[in-house]
Structures are given as structure tokens and as C-alpha cells.
């Protein structure tokens, strides 16, 4: 079954690449990016599959035990759908790639001239070399740790919060909300990843199904569903209940106020436990950001992007 699906995937990719993408690159004089385009096509096809699986998993759950009824006005949710499609089908990452690739190349070349060659986890921990799956899982843990700290900074630094508040402005949170991020915030995420990769290399790419599972788990954590993972499970994986507490209107209250929130973990709650930002409960608070504007909460993709950029600019010049 999996083999047959794999063959179908290869056939689809070959058809698109040979008969559409490659001729288009050739016609546009962009053949220098042919290898990158093949990589991008894999990303986009996997992203499409991720959307399909996320819908298949999350939608029934949201209908089964919804936290709240979002009523007839689904405009903000449609905005999140746009964010998801732009992100997972590779359009937003494509622009990020175009902007970041020269920076990343210059950074890596400069380090190479200094004699520094980025290691990988396998070169740092040699036994991982013979266990690619274990190496991949080690990367998931280390990168999730890095994401935890990026997320902490997004809430801690005023100018970064000005961008990240776009994600928190959503009052009708669903599994589509996961990709609701400002484009500049996505660029910063790319730079953050490049910085981390300088010290541990980039993760192996040969486990697309596992990448898909992690992305579905991230979508699920935003789902509008009454679901938590029990006494042990809540320490292992971020649940919709756990992440909803992070998005709650009251997330900056109590002892978590100093950290500007709680439950920052993306996949593994252990980071919140270790650094004192975990809040395990059973409540499903209303979501949104009281400091945000109506345009940030209810606007279209363009509207929220423009509003986010404006808030970011004001924060940078100290007027936010």
C-alpha cells in the first residue's frame, strides 16, 4: 500500500517536473535553479499531502467536540486557510528562499573561508551515523528546543511580538491557524534555522512521512477541539488543550506574566517543564490578543500583513 502510494507520488512528481516545471524554467531562463526547483516541488507536494492529512485528522475532531461555535462569520478562518495554503504549498517559502539563499550562502562561505565547517549531529555523536532514523529524531528534539527559545523571544522582544501578535490575534482558532504568521516573521524563522544549522547542520531529509507527522501534530495543537493527552501523554506531546492555554486571552496572567505567557513548546512540552513555563490545566480559554487591533484579528491576508508590518515598523522606531 505504502509502496504503491510512493510510486504514485513519484509518477505525479515526474509528470509535473518533466512536463510543466522544467520546461517553464527553461523558457524563463531559470535553469540554474533547476535543482532547487526539484527540491521545492517535493516541498510543495509534501505540503499538499500535509494539508490533506491535517484536514482528514482535524476536521472530524473539530466537529466531534468543538471548544466553541464560530458562528456564521468564517472570514477570519478563511484568512487562516489562505495562510496555510500559501505556506504549505510552498509559495511563501519560495519567496523566503529567494531572499534568504544569498544571505545563507554568504554566511556559509564566510565561515568556510575562516576554516569552519558546520558539523552535523552525526559528526558530533558518531553512533548516530549508523542510525539515520535515530539521527532524525535527535534533530526533531534539538530543533524543537531551538523553536521553544525562538517562541520565547517572539513574546519577549517588543518588535518581535509586533509580528508574532498576528498569530495570536485569531479569535476563531482552528487547525488552520498554525501557519498564520507574518512574512517577516517567517524570514526571521529562516534566519534562526540557518543560525542553528551552523552548529548542528541541517536535518536529514529522507523521512518525509515523519516530517509530515510533525507538521500535522503542529496543526492539531491549534485545533478547535476539547482534547488533551492524559496524565502521561501531556508531558510527551503538545495537545490542543495545552496550546490553547498559550493562545488564551489570560495567558499573560499570574506567575507566567513575567515570561509574557506560558506553554511555548511547539511539539515537546518538556521544555516548558524544564524552564518553568508549563501550565497544565483542563480549561479551554477564549483566544485572541487584547493588545491587537480589529484589523489584525479580522482582516484578510493582505490586511493582516499590512497591519503587522505597520506594528513592526512602529515597534522598531519605539512608537509601538
Partner 1 sequence: MSIDPKAPVPAPSLLKCCCLDSSGRDGLIARRTLLATALATALPAAPARAGSGQAGHVFVLDSRDATVSVIDAARGEVVKRLPTLREPHHLVYTPDRSEIVLGDSVGNEFLFLDPARAEATRSLRVSNPYHLMFSPDGRWLTVASLRRHQIDLYRAADYALVHRLAAPRMPSHIAWSPDSRVTYVTLQGTNDLIAVEAETGRILWRKPTGDTPAGILRAATGELLVANMGEETVSVIDPESGETMRRIRTGAGAHNIFPSPDGRVLFVTNRVAGTISILDAGRFAVLGAYGAPGAPDCLDFSPDGRQIWFTQRVANRVGVLEVETGALVAQIRVGRSPHGILFHALA
Tell whether residue 258 is a contact of partner 1 (CB under 8 A). Answer: no
The residues, ordered by sequence, that sit 6+ positions from 14 with a Cβ below 8 Å of its Cβ are none
Secondary structure element (H or E) that encloses residue 164, with its range: helix 158-168
Question: String of b and e for 162-173 (b: at least 16 CB within 10 Å)?
Answer: bbbbbbbbbbbb
CB closer to partner 1, 90 vs 204: 204
Q: For partner 1, what does the binding mask look like between residues 29 and 68, x meaning CB under 8 A? A: x-xx-x---xx--x--------------------------
State how far the Cα of 250 lies from the Cα of 283, in Å rounded to an integer.
11
Q: Tell me how far, at minimum, the Cβ of 264 lies from partner 1, in Å.
A: 29
Q: Which of 5, 20, 98, 109 binds partner 1 (CB under 8 A)?
A: 109
CB closer to partner 1, 15 vs 303: 15
Q: Which among 5-13, 174-182, 247-255, 304-312 is the span making contact with partner 1, rule CB under 8 A?
A: 5-13
Tell whether residue 201 is a contact of partner 1 (CB under 8 A). Answer: yes
Asked whether the beta carbons of 161 and 261 are under 8 A apart, the reply is no
Tell whether residue 274 is a contact of partner 1 (CB under 8 A). Answer: no
Q: Judging by beta carbons within 10 Å of its beta carbon (0-12, 13-18, 19+), is residue 47 exposed, middle or buried?
A: buried
Largest CA distance in the chain: 60
CB closer to partner 1, 118 vs 281: 118
Tell whether residue 286 is a contact of partner 1 (CB under 8 A). Answer: no
Tell whether residue 158 is a contact of partner 1 (CB under 8 A). Answer: no
Tell whether residue 98 is a contact of partner 1 (CB under 8 A). Answer: no
Q: Other CB atoms closer than 10 Å to residue 233's CB: what's the count?
A: 11
Q: Tell me how far, at minimum, the Cβ of 153 lies from partner 1, in Å.
A: 27
State how far the Cα of 233 lies from the Cα of 109, in Å rounded to an integer.
44
State how far the Cα of 263 lies from the Cα of 286, in Å rounded to an integer.
16
Q: Which residues bind partner 1 (CB under 8 A)?
A: 7, 10-11, 13-15, 17-19, 22-23, 26, 29, 31-32, 34, 38-39, 42, 105, 108-109, 112-113, 117-120, 122-123, 129-130, 132, 201-202, 204-206
Amino acid at each position: 500500500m505504502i509502496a504503491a502510494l510512493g510510486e504514485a507520488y513519484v509518477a505525479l512528481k515526474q509528470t509535473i517536473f518533466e512536463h510543466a516545471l522544467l520546461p517553464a524554467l527553461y523558457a524563463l531562463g531559470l535553469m540554474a535553479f533547476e535543482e532547487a526547483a526539484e527540491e521545492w516541488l517535493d516541498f510543495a507536494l509534501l505540503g499538499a499531502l500535509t494539508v490533506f492529512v491535517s484536514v482528514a485528522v482535524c476536521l472530524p475532531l473539530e466537529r466531534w467536540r468543538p471548544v466553541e461555535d464560530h458562528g456564521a462569520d468564517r472570514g477570519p478562518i478563511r484568512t487562516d486557510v489562505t495562510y496555510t495554503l500559501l505556506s504549505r504549498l510552498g509559495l511563501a517559502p519560495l519567496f523566503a528562499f529567494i531572499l534568504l539563499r544569498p544571505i545563507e550562502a554568504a554566511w556559509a562561505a564566510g565561515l568556510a573561508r575562516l576554516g569552519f565547517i558546520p558539523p552535523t549531529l552525526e559528526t558530533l555523536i558518531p553512533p548516530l551515523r549508523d542510525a539515520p532514523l535515530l539521527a532524525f529524531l535527535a534533530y526533531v528534539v534539538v530543533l524543537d528546543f531551538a523553536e521553544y527559545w525562538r517562541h520565547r523571544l517572539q513574546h519577549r522582544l517588543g518588535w518581535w511580538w509586533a509580528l508574532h501578535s498576528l498569530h495570536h490575534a485569531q479569535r476563531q482558532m482552528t487547525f488552520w491557524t498554525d501557519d498564520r504568521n507574518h512574512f517577516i516573521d517567517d524570514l526571521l524563522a529562516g534566519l534562526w534555522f540557518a543560525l542553528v544549522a551552523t552548529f548542528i547542520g541541517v536535518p536529514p531529509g529522507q523521512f518525509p512521512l515523519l516530517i509530515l507527522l510533525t507538521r500535522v501534530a503542529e496543526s492539531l495543537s491549534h485545533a478547535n477541539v476539547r482534547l488533551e493527552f492524559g496524565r502521561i501523554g501531556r508531558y510527551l506531546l503538545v495537545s490542543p488543550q495545552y496550546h490553547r492555554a498559550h493562545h488564551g486571552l489570560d495567558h499573560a496572567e499570574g506567575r507566567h506574566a513575567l515570561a509574557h505567557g506560558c506553554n511555548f513548546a511547539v511539539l515537546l512540552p518538556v521544555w516548558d517543564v524544564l524552564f518553568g513555563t508549563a501550565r497544565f490545566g483542563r480549561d479551554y480559554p477564549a483566544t485572541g490578543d487584547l493588545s491587537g487591533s480589529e484589523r489584525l484579528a479580522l482582516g484578510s491576508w493582505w490586511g493582516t500583513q499590512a497591519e503587522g508590518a505597520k506594528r513592526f515598523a512602529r515597534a522598531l522606531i519605539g512608537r509601538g
